[in-house]
A and B are shown apart, each in its own frame.
Chain A
Amino acid sequence: MSNNVAVIDYGMGNLHSVAKALEHVGALKVEVTSDQATILAADRVVLPGVGAIRDCVSELRQLELDQTVLSLVNELPLLGICVGMQMLFEHSEENQGVDTLGLFPGQVRYFGDQLQEADGSRLKVPHMGWNQVTQTIDHPIWHRIEQDARFYFVHSYYASPEKSGQTAGRCHYGVDFAAAMIRDNVFATQFHPEKSHTNGLQLLRNFLAWDGRW
């Protein structure tokens, strides 16, 4: 399978890491691009995301890439990362409330300033560091990754899906939240595979091998 990957660039900064990680695990060619034709001509697509969601969504809309992303459903394997996953929900509480792309029914919520574990211990926000991900479905993207493996997270908002069948992985930090989502050929992670060492690189390798079916 040829492996040309388009990483969608909507002007929000560091895409170097994800591009380098994809090259490291064997992508033939990685193009960081905002060009619709280039995106549609790729074998697979990555929607990264960093920073404030309002800016991410508005940049994406300005470049008319929101419809491009939605048009990829049932077309090409698509991997959303971090805010790139959150944008696929319907709505986020961040920035006084932002309507997002609506591929996954559900909300993105704030962890809160008073986040606690069940035993009363105080939790810092952002949720920053290595936490365990429970795989809730069998999926090619989880291939050769151990159950409850740790991945690197950094976020203050978490996704709360409406349809439990669309959750591919779960994490817990004061609350249970979606660490990974799945729908058709779309897989999305709250954590950063490109920053998650061996487990993350394996996930990206699996993404390069995935035909979009499961």
Chain B
Amino acid sequence: MPLAKRIIPCLDVDNGRVVKGVQFENIRDAGDPVEVARRYNEQGADEITFLDITASHQERDTTLHTVERMASEVFIPLTVGGGVRTVSDIRNLLNAGADKVSINTAAVFNPEFVGEAADRFGSQCIVVAIDAKRVSGPGEPERWEIFTHGGRKPTGLDAVAWAKKMEDLGAGEILLTSMDQDGVKSGYDLGVTRAISDTLHIPVIASGGVGNLQHLADGVLQGGADAVLAASIFHFGEYSIAEAKAYMAERGIEMRL
């Protein structure tokens, strides 16, 4: 009776609306977050991830309110990320109804924040989001680096070593987004997914680049991911969560059907 692999639809939320861009640009409106989450819940999503991409701090209250509404209607785990920088950011999100929070940029600038967060709230609710980009050329040994600011700023940090460090500091899970792939629909970067999943003891969520159902299955079968995250293939009705689960189960992956 193995643990099921998870499908996690991701809602990128800007100022109270679900949006989805291609490589972080060309934003398209995809609806009210609570409506969208409720639909995914009914279709059998295993979790929901809510990424607040609102630039301004003034909109933070909108986010908390949306999280609150979502948590009152959707009874599956909810991860919230985007601009999480302080212990009080985490407390506010958990109190609003988030089950886990995702820390991204703040971890890069202050790794100890991850340790502090895990000590305070428990590793089970601390997800570290990593944006990785392949930096090795053709023929060179594969290497990926951490990028910030939506993939624009390199940090010089090796992605695999960084992920390991986050685990050691107390992260309970890694949300790995491959920036080259994000939004371009050619599949996850399976190389970095496999490298990190094999190195770590904690679960790894693959993200970035899903264009079809085979990409989801490949994330698990070839990338070794414990969960697969996707946005646009679900938002715009190309596939339902149920179709995705049936497909993955046919490929021999343990799913909650």
Which residues of A are interface residues toward B (Cβ below 8 A)?
A: 13-14, 16-17, 20-21, 24, 50-52, 113, 117, 123-132, 134, 148, 150, 152-156, 171-173, 192, 194-197, 200-201
A194-B75 contact, Cβ under 8 Å, with A14-B97, A16-B96, A130-B6: yes
In the complex, what's the smallest C-beta–C-beta distance from B177 to chain A, in angstroms? 19
Q: How far is the CA of A187 from the CA of B40 in the complex (A)?
A: 31
Which of the candidate stretches B9-17, B50-58, B120-128, B207-215 sits at the interface with the other chain? Answer: B120-128
Closest 10 pairs (CB-CB, A-B): A51-B122, A130-B256, A132-B1, A14-B94, A16-B97, A130-B4, A124-B203, A150-B256, A154-B124, A20-B72
Provide a sorted-by-A list of 9 A–B residue pairs whose CB atoms are within 8 angstroms. A14-B94, A14-B95, A14-B97, A17-B75, A50-B124, A128-B226, A129-B227, A172-B1, A196-B76
Known: A16-B95, A130-B3; 6 extra A-B contacts, CB below 8 A, are A14-B95, A126-B124, A128-B173, A129-B3, A129-B4, A129-B227
- Assess whether A195 is in contact with B99, with CB atoms less than 8 Å apart: yes
In the complex, what's the smallest C-beta–C-beta distance from B93 to chain A, in angstroms? 9
Chain A residues within 8 Å of B71, by CB = 16-17, 20
Chain A residues within 8 Å of B173, by CB = 126, 128
Q: Choose from A17, A132, A156, A173 the contact partner of B99 (Cβ within 8 Å).
A: A17
- Assess whether A24 is in contact with B91, with CB atoms less than 8 Å apart: no
In the complex, what's the smallest C-beta–C-beta distance from A84 to chain B, in angstroms? 13
Q: Choose from B6, B72, B75 the contact partner of A197 (Cβ within 8 Å).
A: B75
Chain B residues within 8 Å of A173, by CB = 3
Interface residues on B, range: 35 or more
Q: Choose from A50, A153, A197, A201 the contact partner of B122 (Cβ within 8 Å).
A: A50
Chain B residues within 8 Å of A113, by CB = 201
Chain B residues within 8 Å of A148, by CB = 1
Q: How far is the CA of A150 from the CA of B227 in the complex (A)?
A: 16
Q: A56's closest neighbor in chain B, by CB?
A: B122
Q: How far is the CA of A148 from the CA of B96 in the complex (A)?
A: 32
Q: How far is the CA of A143 from the CA of B82 in the complex (A)?
A: 40
Chain B residues within 8 Å of A130, by CB = 3-4, 6, 46, 256
Q: B4's closest neighbor in chain A, by CB?
A: A130
Chain B residues within 8 Å of A134, by CB = 1
- Assess whether A21 is in contact with B75, with CB atoms less than 8 Å apart: yes
Residues 107-126 of chain B, each 1 if its beta carbon lies under 8 Å from chain A, else 0: 00000000000010111110
- Assess whether B72 is in contact with A128, with CB atoms less than 8 Å apart: no
Q: Choose from B75, B121, B202, B256 the contact partner of A51 (Cβ within 8 Å).
A: B121
In the complex, what's the smallest C-beta–C-beta distance from A50 to chain B, in angstroms? 6
Q: Choose from B94, B202, B204, B226 the contact partner of A129 (Cβ within 8 Å).
A: B226
Chain B residues within 8 Å of A52, by CB = 119, 122
- Assess whether B6 is in contact with A156, with CB atoms less than 8 Å apart: no
Chain A residues within 8 Å of B68, by CB = 16
- Assess whether B46 is in contact with A201, with CB atoms less than 8 Å apart: no
Chain B residues within 8 Å of A131, by CB = 1-4
Chain B residues within 8 Å of A14, by CB = 94-95, 97-99, 125
Q: CB of B77 within 8 A of chain A? A: yes
Q: CB of B240 within 8 A of chain A? A: no
In the complex, what's the smallest C-beta–C-beta distance from B17 to chain A, in angstroms? 23
Chain A residues within 8 Å of B204, by CB = 124
Q: Choose from A21, A126, A152, A201 the contact partner of B203 (Cβ within 8 Å).
A: A126
Q: How far is the CA of A132 from the CA of B254 in the complex (A)?
A: 11
In the complex, what's the smallest C-beta–C-beta distance from B197 to chain A, in angstroms? 8
Q: How far is the CA of A194 from the CA of B77 in the complex (A)?
A: 9
- Assess whether A125 is in contact with B202, with CB atoms less than 8 Å apart: yes
B210-257 interface with A by 8 A CB criterion: 226-227, 256
Residues 1-43 of chain B, each 1 if its beta carbon lies under 8 Å from chain A, else 0: 1111110000000000000000000000000000000000100
Q: Choose from B76, B94, B202, B256 the contact partner of A126 (Cβ within 8 Å).
A: B202
Q: How far is the CA of A192 from the CA of B77 in the complex (A)?
A: 9
In the complex, what's the smallest C-beta–C-beta distance from A12 to chain B, in angstroms? 9
Q: CB of B172 within 8 A of chain A? A: yes
Q: How far is the CA of A166 from the CA of B54 in the complex (A)?
A: 50
Q: B224's closest neighbor in chain A, by CB?
A: A122
In the complex, what's the smallest C-beta–C-beta distance from B245 to chain A, in angstroms? 11
In the complex, what's the smallest C-beta–C-beta distance from A27 to chain B, in angstroms? 13
